[in-house]
Amino acid sequence: NAGVTQTPKFQVLKTGQSMTLQCAQDMNHNSMYWYRQDPGMGLRLIYYSASEGTTDKGEVPNGYNVSRLNKREFSLRLESAAPSQTSVYFCASVNKKETPLHFGNGTRLTVT
Amino acid sequence: QKEVEQNSGPLSVPEGAIASLNCTYSDRVSQSFFWYRQYSGKSPELIMSIYSNGDKEDGRFTAQLNKASQYVSLLIRDSQPSDSATYLCAVTYSSASKIIFGSGTRLSIRP
Instruction: Quick: pLDDT tens for B78-92.
Output: 999 999 999 999 999
Report CA Rg, chain B. Answer: 13
State whether residue B82 is helix, strand or coil. Answer: helix
Nearest residue, CB atoms, A31 vs list B44, B49, B97 = B97
Identify all chain B residues contacting A103, using CB atoms and an 8 Å cutoff. Answer: 43-45
The confidence band for B97, taking pLDDT boundaries of 50, 70 and 90, is confident
Cβ distance B103 to A35 less than 8 Å, yes or no, reads no
Residue of B nearest to A89 (CA): B43
Q: Where are the beta strands (DSSP E) in chain B?
A: 4-6, 11-14, 19-25, 32-38, 45-50, 54-58, 61-66, 71-76, 85-92, 99-101, 105-110
Over residues A33-50, the pLDDT tens digits come to 999 999 878 999 999 999
- The length of chain A in residues reads 112
For A4-79, where are the alpha helices, taking DSSP H only?
Answer: none
- Chain B: nearest CA to A93, how far in angstroms? 11
| CA A5/CA A3 separation, integer angstroms | 6
Over residues B18-37, the pLDDT tens digits come to 999 999 999 878 889 999 99
Paired sense of beta strands B11-14 and B105-110, if any: parallel
Confidence at residue B68, expressed as pLDDT on a 0 to 100 scale? 92
Over residues A64-84, the pLDDT tens digits come to 999 998 999 999 999 999 999
Mean pLDDT of A22-39: 95
Nearest residue, CB atoms, A97 vs list B45, B46, B97 = B97
Over residues B50-69, the pLDDT tens digits come to 999 999 999 999 999 999 99
Q: Which helix (H) or strand (E) holds A47?
A: strand A43-49
Confidence at residue A97, expressed as pLDDT on a 0 to 100 scale? 67
